[in-house]
Structure 1
Amino acid sequence: MPADTQYPDHFIERLHAVWGEGFLSPGGAEEVAEILRGIDLHGKTVLDVGFGTGGPAIVLAGQLGAEKVIGIDVEEAVYERASKAVQAAGLASRIDLRIVEPGPLPFEDDSLDVVFSKDSIIHIPDKQRFFEDVFRILRPGGIFAASDWLCGTGPEAEAAIEEMLATNPLRFKMATAQDMANTLTQTGFANVSTVDRNAWYAEQVQEELRQLTGPLYADLVAKVGKEIVDPWLTVRRGTAKATIAGGLRPTHLRAVKPTD
């Protein structure tokens, strides 16, 4: 396994225990559908940026009717799991998973109907360049619809985020909702909108902690070891604290590439 892998098997096991098989962030199929509320995917080609272990792509094709889903990720560790999940769902003919190098999106101009991402943009350092690339590959009238882990503003929120990041081993580049909206607008997108999901996740994350310190604890220790689970609980407590303090603000993002 590459030394820079951020999602090794033991981490995937923990995330699946909390968020469900196929998902590396919260909300499952319902949250995927909520991100895309009002968008008809039938007959559309959708790019899934950061396919993870395949859950969102399966929802896009299997439940929401996308004709073709192209999933890209930079983590080889997730590919095998995602591929098996797609095969098991009977969707291999409509879901194309690809491991790509970090950098420009490997697609032609004006070639895709929808670009989707569930909580992966936080890993992308240069948001401006990413949104420019998304704009380039979308057809006129094409839609960008995503969720991402964003950060709040103000002393308490900023202190909570700083504390959370100090204990989290993942490499994050965070932005505020206003930052993201401004960047999308400057890139040329129209109808830019953000929907704050902090209140929703503040409830979710407290339930996650109850499960992790209760019913799930012994099972996770048996699967991956106490030496892995206990430090992770510290990370999860930091995530809960940052969310409740308003520092961690999961957010839905949407924008449209103009037709003229």
Structure 2
Amino acid sequence: MLSATAQGLAALLAIGVGAIAFSLWTRRNRAYQSSASVAAAYDAWTDDRLLETLWGDHVHLGYYGDPPRRRDFRAAKADFVHALVHWSGLDQLPPGSRILDVGCGIGGSARILARDYGFEVLGISISPAQVARATALTPEGIHCRFAVMDALDLQLADQQFDAVWSVEAGPHMPDKQRYADELLRVLRQGGVLAVADWNRRDPSDGEMNGVEKHVMHQLLTQWAHPEFASIKGFASNIAASPHQRGVLETDDWTRATLPSWIDSIGEGLRRPWAVLSLGPRAILQGLRETPTLLLMHWAFATGLMQFGVFRISPGGGQSAANSELG
């Protein structure tokens, strides 16, 4: 047991660190300005290696099951890929199928899709730094390649892919309809669409109160998001697309992914020397990101935000609850 003096000092230290983090956070503004501002943000996150050091090569949330169970954070991220593969029906495609990963990050999901399922994967990102790092992390023999490309203007032929995969890319898209149109345009008829995203509560389910409006402003400003779609809203975008490919189904995985936010902060405590080795700049960057991570947790826990998943597949996919990961 810590003495009362030690406990008091620890509390003061925590308050001091929190004050520093809040001060750094409130001075920063990453408000969306254009696709270039998104690319610049991801270039910076990739070059400083903080996100990769803490999160590994999967720049997305983890899957903890429903009800959630304790999982290693990085293992949960790999589980997320397999859960979405099973739920969407992507695992019904034969090896050698061509997959497009829109918003591929540094290639963690693409490498699993290629290595574990035998797919040929093209990952695209608007960030040159991410594409370079994804390429460097991909070993010989893994059928992945990566390219710099704008998701709202895919330089790809119509119906070129057997499946289109996109995880947590939608919030950066200023034109959600164009995003949906492009995802479907390059998907062959009878192919599989698998999308997972951070979504806001739909206005039809309750307008935001004053506190929620303030939180939403911060979530948009801190991470270069022009706007979040709701699950209903993005489903409407897919339904309105001229490139119809099948019956859309949606689900809400908020509960199964919610532990990710606190675990992502905990990674810094579990790997302190890894963070310290990156230098003072990375430490300050970690302090800046912590308040946004906490706000994200609050928003998803209270229903302001939801984690939506979207699928189009010939067989309708399968329930995550009935998969081996449920």
Query: How would you bin the TM-score normalised by the shorter chain?
Result: 0.7 to 0.9
Percent pairwise identity: 23
TM-score scaled by structure 1?
0.85
1:253 alignment partner, one of 293, 310, 313: 310
On the 8 A contact 2:122/2:147 being kept in 1, the answer is: yes
Aligned to 2:85: 36
Hey, what's the Cα distance between the residues in 1 that align with 2:132 and 2:300?
32
Gaps of 5+ in 2: 1-35, 63-76, 315-326
Aligned to 2:183: 134
Residue 117 (structure 2) pairs with residue 64 (structure 1): yes
CA RMSD of aligned residues (A): 2.5
Q: Please list, as runs of the form range in 1=range in 2, the aligned pairs for 1:57-136 lying within 5 A after superposition.
A: 57-66=110-119, 68-86=120-138, 88=139, 90-91=141-142, 94-101=143-150, 103-136=152-185
Q: Please list, as runs of the form range in 1=range in 2, the aligned pairs for 1:1-260 lying within 5 A after superposition.
A: 5-10=40-45, 13-20=49-56, 22-27=57-62, 28-37=77-86, 38-39=89-90, 40-41=92-93, 42-66=95-119, 68-86=120-138, 88=139, 90-91=141-142, 94-101=143-150, 103-153=152-202, 154=206, 155=208, 158-159=212-213, 161-165=215-219, 168-187=222-241, 188-212=244-268, 214-217=269-272, 219-225=274-280, 226-256=283-313
**Per the alignment, do residues 100 and 8 of structure 1 end up closer, same or farther by CA in structure 2, a change over 3 Å counting?**
closer
TM-score scaled by structure 2?
0.69
**Per the alignment, do residues 234 and 216 of structure 1 end up closer, same or farther by CA in structure 2, a change over 3 Å counting?**
farther
Q: When the two structures are aligned, how many residues end up with a matched partner? A: 250
Q: Which has the larger Rg?
A: 2
> Where does structure 1 differ by over 4 angstroms across 4 or more consecutive aligned residues?
9-12
1:169 Cα shift?
3.5
Gaps of 5+ in 1: none
Q: Deviations over 1:137-195 (max 9, x none)?
A: 22111121111111124336943751542661323421100011111122234321112
Higher helix share: 2
Higher strand share: 1
